[in-house]
Structures are given as C-alpha cells and as structure tokens.
Structure 1
Amino acid sequence: MPINQPININLEALRGYAAIFVVIGHWTLNGQYTPMPLVVFSPSPHLFLLVFFVLSGYVITISNKGMANYAQIINYVKKRLLRIYPIYFLALLVTLIIAGFHYSASAIFWNFAMMQDLITSPFAENGPTWSLHFEMLFYLLFIPLIFFRLNFIAVLVLSMLLAVCNYCFQLQLYPPIVSLYLLGFAFWMGGACIAKYFTAEQAEVDHAKLLSALFFILATDQMITRSGLPALRDSAGFLLFKQHLPDTPPGIGGMAIVLGYQDLALLPYCLYTVLVFSGRKLKHEGWWFTLLLMPLLYSVYVALTEPAREHAMAFAAPVGYLGLSLIFRFVNWPVIEGLGRAMVRIGAWLGSISYGIYIIHAPLLYLVGRINIAGNPLMGYLIKLSLLFALIIMMAYLLEKVFQLRIRNLISGKIKAS
C-alpha cells in the first residue's frame, strides 16, 4: 500500500489474524504429536490463503485508481517489487540455510526468480511461497485491467468460466496450471470488485459485527469443505465444488497445489468477510448474511443426523464458532463491542507484520519441528509451540520493521540523489 494511502485498521486486523491462522493450521499438519483440541479447533490455512487473495485484490485496487501512462505503470511495478521481493529474497536465504543448501542451482535460481510453480517446485521447507508467484502474476494482470478500464465483474466471471472449461474439457493446449491461475485470480478479482463497485461506509465501526464476521469465516471451511454437504454431494449443483485439479499439474514437479473447484463455494464467504472488514456498504446485508448462513446450518443438520457419531463430534468446533458468531452479531452487550475493539487493536499490530509472518513461518516450523524434547509429549509440544511463535514474531518484526524499512529508505535516498 502506498505510503500516502490511509491504512484501514480493520482490514489490517483481518490480515493479521489470517496470517496467524495460517501458521496455526500448518503447525497441526506437520506430522508430529499435536494435542487433539488444537487439531479440532484449528482454522483452515487454505481458507485464509483465499482470504489473502481477496484482500490483495481489494488493497491493490483501492490504492491504484488509474494508470494513464508508462511512467505510472513503471512506478506501480517498482512499488510492488519493493514491497514483495526484499523480504521474499531474505526469507529464501533463511530457508536455504535451514535446509542445508541441498537444492540444485536450477531450483535455487528459479525460486529466487519467483518462477516456482511454473518451472520448478517451491522449496519444501517453505511451501507457502508458491502463492507469491501467483501474487506477482496478478499484480501484472492488474495493469491492463486498469489501463484499458475493463469491467471487473466481467473479468471475474470470465476467470471462473475459463477455469471450469479448461478443467472439464481437458484442453490439451492449456495445461492445468492455467486453471490454478484463473481460480486464484477469481478470488483476487473478487477483492478488486469490492473496491471498485462498493461505496465506502461512513457510519461508526461496529466492532461486534467485525468480531462476528471473524468467527463466521472460522466456521465456514469445516462446515462446507470438510463436510462436503454429503446429502448434496452427487447433485449437479454441487458437482464442481467437489472436483479437484490433478495432483501434479505439468511443470510443477511433484508438488500438489491445493486449489480446487470446491473453493468456489468458499468465494462468497471470503468476499463477505472482506466486505465487512473493509466497511463497504452492502445493500440488504442482512439477507445476504442469511443466504450464507443457510448452507452452514444445513451442514450442521447433516452432521448431527449421520450414523457415525465421530463425524458429528468433529463439528463441535465449527458449530461453536458459528454460535459465537451469531451471539456477537445479535446480542447487544457492551462487553462484546469492547472485545471487538481489542480484537482489532491486536490484529492490526499483527497485520503490520503479516507478510513477514506468512513468508517466514514455514522454515521456522521446519526448524523447530526437528527439535526433540524428551519426556512428556504435551509439555514438549507446548515448549516447541512457544518457541515457534516467539521466533516467528521476532523474525517477522525484523523483516517488516527493520529490514524492509531500511531497504525502502535506501532506495528512496538513491532516487532523490539521482
């Protein structure tokens, strides 16, 4: 975001919590001992990556009203590179040190060139960097969109349709990675559409509503993606939501990128969350909330009526999240508003270092995961978890508040000197 662009504190808070939820979700998937409550209550890292895509599209669009000439385009590209690449470069160096430099020169070159996914696989110790390749592509695609003043809604719909056609008809001219790009770009364009077509809300911020929206999105993934809405699984309407892209798209080596057509079912929920946190006006917002709520309530009914009790019990966490969301939304208690304000303050600080959290957490997780602590597994896990989060916050702070700031000042000084 440009320096002269006011920061939306609420969106910054959403960004911060999304980064932390990604960390927690990945920690529960590292194959080592993890306390069951953390597994049950952990958020979906994949869902919050999709939220990141929507957030990115919103922020880039709200920060760049137009590119009328070549100089403005170059300035935009420089700002994007300055924001993304210095921290990315240093994070990859840290990753290589932790990994022991066991990668080939070719793999190292293409990862530093941000061509992972397309030409080679991301470093295994920092798998989340695959999304940075997508982000840079979306930044570039934004240039002709804004320069030629294209209809953003048409681009959003076209992205989804082309992704569907490319997959369903198995076109040989277009490899499956094109569908991955188009699916990610659909979420990114969703954020861009919010910035372009929804007017800013002038009313006082309803912090209880923000708190409700956060717990609402926490409930969404397990209720829709993990349940799969079993009773509707074979219907034509939900057919695309259960399909997955091939595990190994051409040109990505052995890595499976988790972007599938079931994600389209999550798009409305990601858009709604960003809409609420952005403060943009949404006509008949109550009716839209009700429509989004109905599939979640139906999934609760399906889970509770299934013969397998274990399946029903697995939904205790998302049901709890949904219950809290409804309480925060409809119960007018001052304490809830106060909780919302505190949630925003904490999240906004995390949001200020969220990119650093996202880009550095995987190699640090790999590093801490190799530590063996004898004795009680739970105590060992808690020690490692505390160490992990301390390292992540410290490294993210150094990357964002020290390293990035010095790089920005250095480049700004050279520009003024010239």
Structure 2
Amino acid sequence: MHVATRPTPPPSPPAAPRASRALRQSWLDALRGVAALIVVFEHSLDPLLPEVRAAISPWFDFGQYGVLVFFLVSGYVVPISLERRGSVRGFWITRLFRLYPLWALAAAAGTVFAVAEVYTRLPAQAAERPWTALLAHLTMLQDLLQVPAVINVFWTLSYEMAFYLLVTAFFVTGVRRTGLGAALVFAVCAPIAGALLPAGLLTRNLGETTVICGVAVVLAFGFAAVLGKGRDLRRCGAAALGVLALVLLAANSRVGAWQSLAIMATMFGGTALRHLEHSSGERTKRAWALALVPVLLVATAVWLGPGWGMSEADQLAFKWSWSAALAGAWLTFAAGLALRNRAIPRAVAWLGLVSYSIYLLHPLVLQVVRRITWDPALLTLEERLSWLATLFAVVVALAALAYRYVERPAQELGRRLAARHGTAPQRDDPSARIPVPAGRG
C-alpha cells in the first residue's frame, strides 16, 4: 500500500548575520547623527559665529539642510517599518513610545525655561490660552495649527506626524508602493497650493480654538476607527486621518502650503528611494521620474519664495539658501545610499542613536549659553570657538544620558506593549499578502 508522504519543504534561507543588518542600518544612523549636529551648528551661529551667519546663510541654510536629511531618512524607514510590522496598532504604540517620553521631558523643561525667561519667553498664545496650546502640542501638529511651539525645533514633529497619518491611511486602505506617485503628486501640487492658499487659512476663518478642538476630535475618531474591527470602519478612519493631514498641510501650516507639501514630497521621495533600491525592472525610468521631484521643488522655491513680506534681497537669499539646502539634502542622501555597504565609524553611527535627543535638547543648552555669553561682540573668536566646543560636548553628553535613561527604556516598553497586543497582520488586511523587502526599518 502506498502511503502519501508530505513533501519536505526547501530549507529556509539563512538569517542575515547581525553584523550585516547593523551595516545596513549604520549609514542611516550616520545621516541622522550628522544632520542633528548640523542643526545644532545652525542654531549656534547667531550667538557665537555671526560672521558665518552673515557670509554663508544667504547662500545655504544649514538648518533646513539638516531637517530635510531627517525627512528623507524618515520617508525611507517609516513606511517599510509599518508594512513589515503588519499592524497599525503595533506601529503607533512603538511610535508613541519612541517620540512622546523625550518630547514631554523637553517640553516641560522648555516651558520652565520660558517662564523663568532663561533666554526666550513663553509664546503669547500659550500664556493667554494654555489649554488649547497644550492640546495642540499633545497632537504634535501645533505647526499645522498655527500655534507657536514651546521649543522651536518641535515644528518638524508636526510634519513627521502628518506623514505618519498619511502612511497609515495608505496602509489601511491597501494602497501600496505609493512613494514615487505620492512624491510627484505633492511636488506638482506644491506650487499650485502655494499660489492659491494663504498660510493659516483655517485658523483665520474658523478661529484657533475651533480648529484645534476639531482636529483633536477627528484624530480621536480616526484612531478609534482604524484600530477597530471591520474593514469598512478602518477604512473610514483611515480616510479621516488622511484627509485631515492633507487639509492641514495645504490650508493651515505656519510656513505655507508650498513648503508643507514640499516637505511631504521629500519624505515620500525617501520612500520611493527605498522601493527603487529593492525593485526590479524599469528602474531607470523610475529613477528619472524620482529625479524630477527635487527639480520641481527647487523650481517652486524660486517661483514662490517665502511669501512673508520680506524685502526683495531677503527673498532672493531665502530662495537660494532653501534651494541649495534641498539639493544638498537629496545629494547627501543619495551619496549615503550609494555608500551604504561601506563600514561606518562606530562613533558616527552612535550619534544616530542619540540624534533625537540631540535635536530636542540642544535648544535648552543653547539658551543657557546665550544667557551666559549674551553678546558675541564682547567675546574674542577664540572664546566663542571654545563656547561652541563646549556647546557640542554638553549637548552630546546630555543626549547620551537622555537616550540611556529616557529613550531606550521607553522604546523597550513600547516594543513589549506592541508584542503583548499582537502585531501580526490582520486576516483581512491586504498587507498580509504583500512581500516586504528585507532590512531594518
């Protein structure tokens, strides 16, 4: 009698060595770390190196360059991270524990510094309407709600959050490989929206409190829906989150519609680069199409400019410095991608691990430095360079402590909670059937 036997499955491919995985991640860490230090350098120019500010800033914006590199890295990493995890709930648990603990610490310290007038004062809106300002900050969308941030660098988190909302909407609705298409759409729409929609349109017409409370309600509904049961309910919630992000970016950002959409185009450009790296077939056509994105964004910057009532000379300087920063960020990321298999010095890669702490905490250290030095004209160049070295040393040391005692424990807790709630793809979720490239996200 013939007995049917189960065919032996082919052996699984060996897992990638830990060193190989670390190598793939180290170039991204290096970009984060260098970008964070460049932002610190940008913010140190006024109190310590005004000569550099006067000579270089009209031609190149170091701060904008640094944050655009950050945005490209986020675009490259975040969508793939969600797809690999296969769970919106798990993704948001880990994101919240990644962002909010250190953010809360920095926000509390920034508020104390502002109330004590260490250097800056508490924004008028926060002093006059503290509860709406707090609610706007808790959403991390304050820059899209026309609310000045307690710490100036918080503005970039608003665009990170908007990007997460859009990525979540795409994921839940089953839209895949959106990087190139989304980047091109945002790049094309940036000049149109910038020409037609003034900054802060919603807040000026509906009122600050109405907009902030309305956004909070939509966020609460959207998250409750996408985390609920039933495909239709989740898609309804995803649509609410996606539309909310688009409306705020186009009609209520502090910097104006074209810059907000340019940031989104840059972030989805990072996603497109990740897809291009792991794609096969028509890579040349996709690469040329993707190269149009920074070209369109530079053209938009030259055409529209800041639109803030600047003098003609200041507008020209803005157009040039912003365009140079954008081009530099894209070229830097492309160079990092091309050299991704090269060994990265461990110290440089480590800076990437603590880059979030460097970015959020350096304004506090800088406030203290500005309070002590006060007027750079009263200091010699050697003294100012010494203060610059001290600034970097203190910021990096403080970031190392914050990462060790705030960031890392919070991230580990977030991963445990995500695992406890289950992060496997839902049975009716289209992502369960989508192959995802290997690599850390």
Same fold judged by TM-score > 0.5?
A: yes
Task: Give the counterpart of 2:275 among 196, 221, 234.
Answer: 196
CA contact (8 A) 1:62 1:196 kept: no
Aligned partners of 2:353 and 2:420: how far apart in 1? 29
Task: Give the counterpart of 2:110 among 87, 95, 114.
Answer: 95
Letter in 2 for 1:359: L
CA contact (8 A) 2:190 2:262 kept: yes
1:268 deviation in Å?
Answer: 5.2
Aligned partners of 1:52 and 1:271: how far apart in 2? 11
Q: Is 1:74 matched up with 2:89?
A: yes
Q: Is 1:10 matched up with 2:27?
A: yes
Secondary structure in structure 2 of the residue aligned to 1:368:
helix
Structure 2 counterpart of 1:243: 304
TM-score, with length taken from structure 2: 0.60
Aligned partners of 1:35 and 1:267: how far apart in 2? 23
Q: Is 1:116 matched up with 2:175?
A: no
Structure 1 counterpart of 2:251: 175
1:407 deviation in Å?
Answer: 2.2
* Alignment of structure 1 residues 277-296 onto 2, 5 Å: 277-279=336-338
Secondary structure in structure 2 of the residue aligned to 1:370:
helix
Aligned partners of 1:67 and 1:413: how far apart in 2? 14
Structure 2 counterpart of 1:390: 393
Secondary structure in structure 2 of the residue aligned to 1:168:
helix
CA contact (8 A) 2:72 2:269 kept: yes
Structure-2 change in CA distance of 1:37 and 1:170 (3 Å): closer
Aligned partners of 2:164 and 2:339: how far apart in 1? 23
Structure 1 counterpart of 2:264: 185
Percent identical: 25
CA contact (8 A) 2:141 2:159 kept: no
Task: Give the counterpart of 2:192 among 165, 168, 187.
Answer: 165
1:352 deviation in Å?
Answer: 1.4
Letter in 1 for 2:114: A
Task: Give the counterpart of 2:384 among 361, 371, 381.
Answer: 381
- Larger-gyration structure (1/2): 2
Secondary structure in structure 2 of the residue aligned to 1:246:
coil
Aligned partners of 2:304 and 2:80: how far apart in 1? 33
Structure 2 counterpart of 1:51: 69
1:380 deviation in Å?
Answer: 3.7
User: CA deviation digits over 1:32-77, x for unaligned, max 9?
Assistant: 3526368757871111211111111001134333576xxx111111
Structure-2 change in CA distance of 1:55 and 1:33 (3 Å): closer
Structure-2 change in CA distance of 1:268 and 1:402 (3 Å): same
Which consecutive unaligned segments of at least 5 residues does structure 2 have?
Answer: 1-17, 117-121, 203-249, 280-293, 310-316, 422-441
Aligned partners of 1:163 and 1:260: how far apart in 2? 15
Structure-2 change in CA distance of 1:376 and 1:140 (3 Å): closer
RMSD: 3.7
1:198 deviation in Å?
Answer: 1.8
Q: Which has the higher contact order (CA 8 A, sep 6+)?
A: 2
Figure out how many residues of one structure are paired with residues of the other and give that number: 307
Aligned partners of 2:358 and 2:383: how far apart in 1? 23
Aligned partners of 2:307 and 2:56: how far apart in 1? 29
User: CA deviation digits over 1:143-199, x for unaligned, max 9?
Assistant: 233432154212111111222111223487853634333111000011000111223
Aligned partners of 2:176 and 2:417: how far apart in 1? 33
CA contact (8 A) 1:10 1:344 kept: no
1:376 deviation in Å?
Answer: 4.4
CA contact (8 A) 1:241 1:265 kept: no
Aligned partners of 1:268 and 1:180: how far apart in 2? 15
Structure 2 counterpart of 1:253: none
Aligned partners of 1:345 and 1:195: how far apart in 2? 24
Structure-2 change in CA distance of 1:259 and 1:397 (3 Å): farther
1:120 deviation in Å?
Answer: 4.1
Letter in 2 for 1:271: W
